[in-house]
Amino acid sequence: MTVAQPLTRTRSSAEHLFYGAMSVSILAGVCLGFARSFLLRPLFPGLKVPPEPFFLLHGVVFLAWFVLLTVQTTLVARGRVALHRSLGVLGGVLATVMVVLGLTGAVIAARRPGGFTEIPVPPLQFLAIPFFDMLIFPALIGAALALRRDAQAHKRLMLVGSIAILTAAIARWPFGVFEGGPLVFFGLTDLYLVPLVAWDLVTRRRLHPATLWGGLALVVSQVLRLAVSGTHGWLVFAQWLTGLPGA
């Protein structure tokens, strides 16, 4: 027993360190992507940004989610589980608001005369990307909240759900990521799954079901939106959703 307890504490510390590092890296990815257009916007006056004030609210709420994710992993690492659970209620409310704002913002951008900012893809077609984001995100976060009593499933699904909405930030990284097309910015998004897969294989010798099915759901959603975005069915739906004339 004297040996088992130190081993358990070591594994627990390593786990806290891993999830803490993951949440910080996700937040860093968001900040890097939106530094010029949102966080440090006054320093880049020549950069084209969404003109509607709505997107300031949108940015604050979405950034709050990633900050909360980091705070929550820190609280667990410090043993503040009760506060973590209390803030979890806020997280559920925040996630719901994000879906509403995300869908609203996507429709606003698609209806804009120039379409999505600095995106040459026809707006009704590109609308598939943020629309599917707002399907996969609540599905994964909802599953995480439903499984909150299963700590291992809960923390994995929270990470994968947060990774699912990283694409918008990654596509804006100042390295010409967007010019590489969907395969590049979706691929970079999926790279955030690699440490979680590696963690499972090292600590469990197999993938946790939440990692497996959550990761598959994310990747399939990426493939699906690319497959349907140019179809007649999607364009009719997007036309109805936005009230725009057909492409």
Domain spans, the chain: 12-242
pLDDT (tens digit, 9 = 90+) per residue, 192-207? 999 999 999 999 999 9
**Per-residue confidence (pLDDT) for residue 233, from 0 to 100:** 95
Confidence (pLDDT) at 246? 53
Instruction: State yes or no: pLDDT of 69 exceeds 90.
Output: yes
Query: E-strand spans in the chain?
Result: none
Environment class of 94 (CB within 10 Å of its CB; exposed 0-12, middle 13-18, buried 19+): middle
The two three-digit tokens of residue 219, written as one number: 């990747």
Hey, is 117 helix, strand or coil?
coil
Q: Residue 28 is encoded by which pair of tokens?
A: 């860093």
pLDDT tens readout for residues 109-161: 999 988 888 788 899 999 999 999 999 999 999 999 999 999 999 999 999 99
Q: Can you give the pLDDT at residue 6?
A: 58
pLDDT tens per residue across span 159-185: 999 999 999 999 989 887 777 788 888
**Whether this model's pTM surpasses 0.85:** yes
125, 182 in Cβ contact below 8 A?
A: no
Mind listing the pLDDT tens digit for each residue in 37-61? 999 988 988 888 888 999 999 999 9
**Are 58 and 105 in contact, with CB atoms under 8 Å apart?**
yes
Q: Reply yes or no on whether the pLDDT at 247 is more than 50.
A: no
Residue 10: the pLDDT is: 65
- pLDDT at residue 52, rounded to an integer: 92
pLDDT classification of 1: cutoffs 50, 70, 90: very low
8 pLDDT above the threshold of 70? no
Q: How many Å apart are CA 108 and CA 120, to the nearest integer?
A: 16
pLDDT band at 245 (very low <50, low <70, confident <90, very high): low
pLDDT at 5 (0 to 100): 57
Tens digit of each residue's pLDDT (9 = 90 or more) over 81-117? 999 999 999 999 999 999 999 999 999 999 998 888 8
Helix axes 128-146, 151-164, angle to 10 degrees: 170
